[in-house]
Amino acid sequence: MNVIMKGFVILLLVFAGVFSARAQDSATATTTATPSVSMMNSRSAVRRDRSSSLLPAMAADTGKKRLSPDDDDEDEEEADTVGPGGARFAKGTDEYFREHPGHSGKSVPASAVEQTWQGSRPAPEVQASFDGLGEGFRGPQGTALYRNPSDNALAVGPNQIVQIVNTRVAIYTKKGKMYDTTGRILYGPGETRNFFKGFGGPCEKLNNGDAVVRYDQLADRWLIVMPTFRRGIARTDQRDSSKAGLPPYPAQPGKAEMLYQPGPTYPEAPSGTRPPIVRTKVDTTGTYCMCYAISTGPDPFGPYYRYEFDRPLFPDYPRPTIWPDGYYTTSSTSDQLIQRQVFVVDRDKMLKGEDATEQGFLINGVNFLLNSDVEGQGLPDKGAPNIVVSNGGTQLHDQFEDDGIYVWKFHVDWKNTSKTRLEGPVKVDVATYHYLGDGQLKRSIPQKGDTMRVDAQGDKLLGRLIYRHTGKQQSLVVVHSVATAAGGGGVRWYEFREGKRSKLSLYQQGTYAPDGDYRWMAGAAMDKYGDIGIGYTYSGPAHFIGQRWTGRLATDSLGVMTFGEGILAEGAAPQTNTLRWEDYTYTAIDPSDDVTFWYVGDYLKKDAKNYTTRIGAFRLSPLQIPMRSDTLPSSPHKQ
């Protein structure tokens, strides 16, 4: 983790400021390590407070805490360390340290954890597959024009599947109790702001990209999170409060409203020279905001409670996650700053449709952050903090390698905000990694049929930080894209185990790179048995870009994806219009069985000008497996 210059820190933090709470005292929080933290205090969604006070953040410089893989509360499972042909794979870094004492207390070399062969099990079979939003999509709301990158988000409920691509949303049937088929279009391509019809302000007026959909299976609710990327548009038709005082706001969330269903439109792609873009003048002194819509039940058509929360800084790349005490969301302030935001809103009040507040921190000197995200019905211990992680290195400083995953603990207190705190970072040693493509926004990945290379987004952790509580075991899984020894790209994946006092230790790691081609932009998930499934983009000089997946069972040898590689979508044309590719994607577990993995990714059809998304499902285990008394499945999961 890199230390930024103190003068730079002060400049950024003065710009950020701290927001005052409605009927609550202001507070500051600090970490015990190098990155500096400023707290954005709890504030109500009922109104904006434009006259925010400015407080400098306190940054302790006590050095990074280091968590050795041997520093764990529980013993690690034994497993073999030799694969086909004598190739080595990770067993957990403690094994490597014992065999290589010269590396004790340091990271494992990247090559030691590369899996350079296909798994011996058959590839996971396709359980369902259909085209989603993108070129060729036509639904009840007509057609749409799609921007690059696609920014895929996917969520699955008991009866429907919801997809968001940038500024567009679609709803599909899922075969089961309500529908006899999967993939029939019920809605779309609708604007994401349709969830906020009649709400007023920027959430209704601006149809913004980077919106994300999640299904909260702990409460059987749909969650839509949409950032706004323009400042100063008030939620009423009156002038912005920074110009002429604070106009009264209607109470939030107000009455729950159904998803707006407009009639179809059929926009045509521009031909020839594009006309100049005319931008309306907007206030540059107001704030951005984050918009939340939370359904009152499992129907994605609603009704929805709607909320709007201010953002003092640009809220790019939001990553909403589900935790018992709140909906957590991280975001980036700029591609040109090493600065991130992490916020939490009061989930309990929002589920009830009550006035809600949020709290957050501004952190300097860190990469993109991910909050822990509950998968399944197993809850964390009561009062357990939300875990926040980031990878190391800094693209803006040309530092593309690191050997750690960095961990914070976010403790929120809704009764007394002065007790809310963010502790960390603590470094967990992992195998050395090098950003695939040296980071983001570069021509990195080759493809068949064109000299255009596409972006790798290799500078960040991807998708979600999955939290799965199975019996006595608490696992967290995350992935990112790394360069491989063969000169291609692979999916680096980790499983951490959470011990006493929410301390994380590395349980296993691996880089899936069975050949010299490129696998990147992955999304991972873990089913109720502890099996890990990963979907990802695939390409190479002899292959058009497409979508594939693989996985492993919980009782397999550590560090290995033991299934063969399944194919969801084979590309049939190169992408030539831009280097940008996806930015992110999601893999989600079906709440109906807690076993089926759903994944979405892009590909191009023959002669296509732009991407089509493909949504598919696979399983690693049968729907019904007899379970051991309190942990993981037995015989069906043995090789």
Which stretch of DSSP H or E encloses residue 477? strand 473-483
Which residue, 210, 58, 46, 80, is CA-closest to 556?
A: 80
Residues 488-501, mean pLDDT to the nearest whole number: 96
Band (pLDDT 50/70/90 cuts) for residue 270 is confident
CB within 8 A of 259, min separation 6: which ones?
187, 190, 194, 195, 300, 301, 302, 304
Backbone angles phi, psi at 553, to 5 degrees: -90, 155
More confidently predicted of 82 and 501: 501
CB 462 within 8 A of CB 472: no
**Euclidean distance between CA atoms 561 and 507, whole angstroms:** 15
CB 410 within 8 A of CB 344: yes
Strand partners, 615: 130, 600
Structure tokens that stand for 428 in this block: 């967990």
Provide the residue type at 395 as one letter: Q
Taking residue 586's Cβ as centre, other Cβ atoms within 10 Å add up to 25
Domain-located, residue 120: yes
Domain-located, residue 296: no
Which residues of 236-303 form beta strands (DSSP E)?
288-295
**Euclidean distance between CA atoms 45 and 33, whole angstroms:** 32
Residue 335's pLDDT is what? Answer: 79
CB within 8 A of 620, min separation 6: which ones?
124, 527, 531, 533, 551, 552, 553, 563, 595, 597
Residue 420's pLDDT is what? Answer: 97
Q: What distance lies between CA 564 and its chain's CA centroid? A: 25
Give per-residue pLDDT as tens, 217-237: 999 999 999 999 988 665 544
Domain-located, residue 249: no
* 504-512/114-115 β-pairing: parallel
Residues 410-438, mean pLDDT to the nearest whole number: 96
Structure tokens that stand for 562 in this block: 């033991």
Domain-located, residue 211: no
Domain-located, residue 104: yes
pLDDT > 70? residue 481: yes
pLDDT > 80? residue 62: no
Residues 185-192, mean pLDDT to the nearest whole number: 98
**Euclidean distance between CA atoms 200 and 307, whole angstroms:** 11
Lowest-confidence region among 162-171, 225-234, 597-606, 608-617: 225-234
Side-by-side strand order, sheet with 316-323: 37-44, 357-364, 339-345, 326-332, 316-323
pLDDT > 50? residue 514: yes
Residue 400's pLDDT is what? Answer: 94
Domain-located, residue 240: no
| The residue to which tokens 């567009």 are assigned | 168
Give per-residue pLDDT as tens, 346-364: 999 999 999 999 999 999 9
Strand partners, 311: 288
* 597-603/114-115 β-pairing: unpaired
pLDDT > 80? residue 99: no
Backbone angles phi, psi at 281, to 5 degrees: -75, 130
438: left (phi over 0), alpha (psi -120 to 50) or beta: left
Domain count, the chain: 1
* 532-540/326-332 β-pairing: unpaired
Domain-located, residue 101: yes
Residue 276's pLDDT is what? Answer: 59
More confidently predicted of 271 and 137: 137
Which residue, 85, 189, 96, is CA-closest to 144?
A: 189
Band (pLDDT 50/70/90 cuts) for residue 334 is confident
Report the half-sphere exposure of 391 (CA within 13 A, side-chain side): 30
Which residue, 477, 481, 470, is CA-closest to 529?
A: 470
Enclosing domain of residue 468: 82-124+435-584+606-639
Residue 281's pLDDT is what? Answer: 58
Domain-located, residue 565: yes
Structure tokens that stand for 97 in this block: 């340290």
Residue 100's pLDDT is what? Answer: 44
Provide the residue type at 383 as one letter: G
| The residue to which tokens 């360390």 are assigned | 81
Using alpha carbons only, give the angle 454, 456, 461 rounded to the nearest 5 degrees.
Answer: 160
Structure tokens that stand for 210 in this block: 């980077």
Percent of the chain residues past pLDDT 90, beyond the cut? 69
**Euclidean distance between CA atoms 592 and 174, whole angstroms:** 10
Which residues of 541-611 form beta strands (DSSP E)?
543-552, 566-569, 587-589, 597-603
Residue 106's pLDDT is what? Answer: 55
Residue 66's pLDDT is what? Answer: 32
Q: What is the mean pLDDT of the chain?
A: 82
| The residue to which tokens 């960040």 are assigned | 460
Q: What distance lies between CA 271 and its chain's CA centroid? A: 36
Residues 251-257, mean pLDDT to the nearest whole number: 89
Give the torsion through C-alpha atoms of 166, 170, 174, 180, to 10 deg.
Answer: -150
Residue 454's pLDDT is what? Answer: 95
Residues 470-499, mean pLDDT to the nearest whole number: 96
pLDDT > 60? residue 47: no
Residues 29-58, mean pLDDT to the nearest whole number: 40
**Euclidean distance between CA atoms 216 and 358, whole angstroms:** 18
**Euclidean distance between CA atoms 452 and 443, whole angstroms:** 7
| The residue to which tokens 């639904």 are assigned | 139
Which residue, 290, 309, 195, 284, is CA-closest to 233?
A: 284
pLDDT > 70? residue 200: yes
**Euclidean distance between CA atoms 176 and 600, whole angstroms:** 20
Structure tokens that stand for 625 in this block: 């497996």
| The residue to which tokens 């006309």 are assigned | 275
Band (pLDDT 50/70/90 cuts) for residue 283 is low
Give per-residue pLDDT as tens, 138-178: 999 999 999 899 999 999 999 999 999 999 999 999 999 99
Residue 272's pLDDT is what? Answer: 58
Residue 322's pLDDT is what? Answer: 98
